[in-house]
Each structure stands twice: as C-alpha cells, then as structure tokens.
C-alpha cells in the first residue's frame, strides 16, 4: 500500500496508539500498523475495531491513564469469542 498523502510505500511496524474513554487516555502498545516516513500511521480496520471493542471493556475507574499491550488485547477478544459460542450452543439446546 502507498501513503495517500505522499505516495511513499508504507512499512509494516508496531505502533503505540492513543485512544481515550471517559476522559482517560489509553495507550495501546505494539499495535500492528503501516507507517510512512512522512509520519502518517495507518491501522487495519479489523485491528481498529479490536481496539475500540477492548476500549469499551477496560476498567478505567479512578485512573488518569492506562497502558495496554495489543498482545493482551487479543487474549480478551478470544475469551469473549468462547463465551458467545457457549451461548449459541445453549440456545440450540433449548429447542
């Protein structure tokens, strides 16, 4: 992929991405991203939605900021997947 701003080929890398929820800054470390030497950072749509998914589930109560590793984020998403599978199975069992 080429940078839409300067036309340079993007490089794959790991970035720290800042998001905020309820006035708390959340820093996600090691987020896979495509980076341009002009400073633009592009994050895959799927990864961006993973981040917002986890963001809503973080306990930010009483904190001013949080630092989260993206590798831990993946663990949370997979755990939730297992839960939804169980629910589906239960529904099928009820009929």
Residues 34, 1 contacting (CB under 8 angstroms): yes
Is residue 6 at the binding interface for Zn ion, with CB under 5 A as the rule?
A: yes
Q: Are the beta carbons of 38 and 3 closer than 8 angstroms?
A: yes
Sign of dihedral through CA atoms 28, 37, 45, 87?
negative
Report the residue from 2, 5, 20, 72 that binds Zn ion according to the rule CB under 5 A: 5
The count of residues interacting with Zn ion (CB under 5 A) is 7
**55 with 74: CB under 8 angstroms?**
no
Sites for Zn ion among residues 25-64 (CB under 5 A): 36, 38, 40
Q: Which range binds Zn ion by CB under 5 A, 5-13, 49-57, 60-68, 85-93?
A: 5-13
Residues that bind Zn ion (CB under 5 A): 3, 5-6, 8, 36, 38, 40
């Amino acid at each position: 992929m080429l940078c839409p701003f300067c036309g340079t080929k993007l490089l794959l890398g790991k970035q720290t991405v800042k998001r905020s929820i309820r006035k708390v800054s959340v820093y996600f470390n090691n987020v896979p991203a495509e980076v341009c030497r002009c400073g633009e950072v592009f994050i895959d749509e799927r990864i961006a939605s993973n981040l917002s998914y986890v963001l809503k589930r973080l306990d930010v109560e009483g904190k001013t900021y949080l630092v989260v590793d993206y590798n831990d984020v993946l663990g949370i998403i997979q755990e939730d997947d297992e839960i939804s599978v169980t629910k589906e199975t239960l529904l099928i069992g009820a009929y």
